[in-house]
Amino acid sequence: MRKFLARVAGLRSDLRPEDILATPTVVLAIRLKYGVSITAGSLFAFSQVSLLQTALALQGMGARVEVVPIYA
């Protein structure tokens, strides 16, 4: 673990080792057609509800949630 933290600190001098593990980040990736943005309109209704519930649950556990597209 110390090697990992030292390596990250070497790449990002603005981050302190204790800050790296303080707030975990969960990245949710959604497959979309190329050029389509992630919006409520680009997701099925069930996907919208599922994404919201998942994000709220993860945030409630102290994680930061990011949603990114995977273009097909």
Q: Residue 60, Cα to own-chain centre: how many angstroms?
A: 14
The total domain count for the chain is 1
Residue found under tokens 């302190």: 16
pTM reported for the whole predicted model: 0.65
Q: In this structure, is residue 16 part of a structural domain?
A: no
- How does pLDDT run along the chain (72 residues), one tens digit per residue? 778 878 877 887 787 777 777 788 899 999 888 888 888 888 889 999 999 999 999 999 999 999 988 987
Residue 10 lies in a domain: no
Identify whether 43 is part of a domain: yes
Say what the pLDDT of residue 23 is. 80
Q: Judge contact between 45 and 51, C-beta under 8 A.
A: no
Is residue 70 situated within a structural domain?
A: yes
The structure tokens 């057609």 sit at 33
Tokens of 47: 């996907």
What domain range is 35 assigned to?
23-72
Kind plus residue range of the DSSP H or E element containing 10: helix 2-11
Q: What is the pLDDT of residue 51?
A: 92
**Does residue 30 lie in a domain region?**
yes
Residue 40 lies in a domain: yes
CB-based contact 27:69 (threshold 8 Å): no
Token pair for 41: 């309109």
User: Is 13 within a domain?
Assistant: no
